[in-house]
Amino acid sequence: MEAMNFRSILCGLTLSAAAFAQQNANPLVAGSQTIYSGTKANILKSVDKVSEDLWSWRPTPDVRSFGELFAHIADGQYEFCSPVNEGKAVDKQIEKTKKSKAEVVAALKEGFAYCDAAYAKVTVANASEMIPFFGKTMARISIMDFNAGHNMEHYGNLVTYLRLNKMVPPSSQK
């Protein structure tokens, strides 16, 4: 009887340890998804602030316009999330082909939906799986974090563009 109780306790502890390890790994994936979601929200709120008459505005002739910057971000969603979604890079060439605000906003939203699907495929079990990425191999979760970093890089540009046009960026609004 004591041996049976000991085995039950040992089995319970083993299962609890496995569940604890699983729970402790989840915050890594959840944290990555949270950072991406924040970048997505700030970018989508930014595009809503930019009127049609500011769409082609650029601070200097040597940098992207508002519209080109949003199109570049849309392209990035495919470039960075496609290795996770499809196992290969996808280039939609949105920046080269979409010009109007309506076209770019639609492409941006589609791009974010595409990345949402990629994030849904990242699990605790496969987050550290090494997959091809721009001629290298990288952990699945790192590729997704690279996308969030790229989004933040260009959200920083958008913050400057918005402020130069007397608008408060979404991350600074109360």
Kindly state the average pLDDT of the residues 120-132.
94
The two structure tokens encoding residue 8: 């039950």
pLDDT at 22: 45
Q: Residue 9 domain-assigned? A: no
Given pLDDT bands bounded at 50, 70 and 90, which one contains residue 122? very high
Q: Residue 138 domain-assigned? A: yes
Residue 16: pLDDT over 50: no
Q: Residue 2 domain-assigned? A: no
The two structure tokens encoding residue 98: 């979409």
3-state secondary structure of 93: coil
Containing domain of residue 167, as a range? 27-172
Least confident of 2-16, 20-34, 40-54, 140-154: 2-16
Given pLDDT bands bounded at 50, 70 and 90, which one contains residue 106? very high
Cα angle, residue 32 at apex, residues 98 and 128 outer, rounded to 5°: 105
Q: Residue 44 domain-assigned? A: yes
What does pTM read for this prediction? 0.84
The pairs formed by 26-32 with CB atoms below 8 angstroms and a separation of 24 or more are 26/124, 28/124, 28/127, 28/141, 29/122, 29/123, 29/124, 29/127, 29/141, 32/119, 32/122, 32/141, 32/144, 32/145, 32/148
**pLDDT tens digits, 51-101:** 999 999 999 999 999 999 999 999 999 999 999 999 998 999 999 999 999
Name the amino acid, one letter, at 83: P
CATH number at residue 112: 1.20.120.450
Q: Residue 7 domain-assigned? A: no
Q: Residue 42 domain-assigned? A: yes
The two structure tokens encoding residue 40: 């997505």
Residue 133: pLDDT over 60: yes
Residue 14: pLDDT over 80: no
pLDDT averaged over every residue in the chain: 88
Q: Are 44 and 109 in contact (CB under 8 A)?
A: yes
Q: Residue 77 domain-assigned? A: yes
Percent of the chain with pLDDT strictly greater than 70: 86
pLDDT at 101: 98
Q: Are 170 and 45 in contact (CB under 8 A)?
A: yes
pLDDT at 137: 96
Q: Residue 158 domain-assigned? A: yes
Strands 136-139 and 130-133, sheet pairing: antiparallel
Q: Are 131 and 87 in contact (CB under 8 A)?
A: yes
Residue 13: pLDDT over 60: no
Q: How far is CA 126 from CA 104, 129, 136, 153, 154, in A?
A: 32, 5, 18, 27, 28
| Number of domains composing the chain | 1
Q: Are 119 and 36 in contact (CB under 8 A)?
A: yes
pLDDT at 132: 95
